[in-house]
Amino acid sequence: MTTSTFRPLIALAGLMGAAGVVLAALSAHGADAARLVPASSMLLFHAPAVLAAVLLIERGLVARRTALVAVCGMVAGAALFALDLTLRQFAGHSLFPMAAPTGGTLMILSWLALSLAAVLPRAG
């Protein structure tokens, strides 16, 4: 894998961080914006995790394919979770039934996959 393989993930982590800060500001200044707090938190927690996981892959410290699946799952799960809660806040409806729990489950599975990537043999 080349460094350019990771550029989209790094860019997505930057967007996740920016969106997390925006949602945090909206939750701090908006009336009854309680749903935005967990949406912001998931984005802000997972943005640096994505960056760290990319570095682990790049350094060869984890099994590449499994870790890459984990990273993509973190991005997708956090986005699904945050988007669903944000839509509920501003549009009054969800993305689709069970979208936030699906995103949360995907994030949990992604963390487990990253743990697995740490103990699997690494491709040389």
pLDDT at 123: 66
pLDDT for position 5: 79
pTM greater than 0.85 (yes/no): yes
pLDDT of residue 63: 97
Average pLDDT by stretches of 10, the chain with 124 residues = 81 97 93 91 98 96 96 98 96 96 98 97 70
Domain ranges across the chain: 3-119
Q: What is the pLDDT of residue 11?
A: 96
* Gyration radius (Cα) of the chain, Å: 15
b (16+ CB within 10 A) / e for 14-38: eebbebbeebbebbeeeeebebbeb
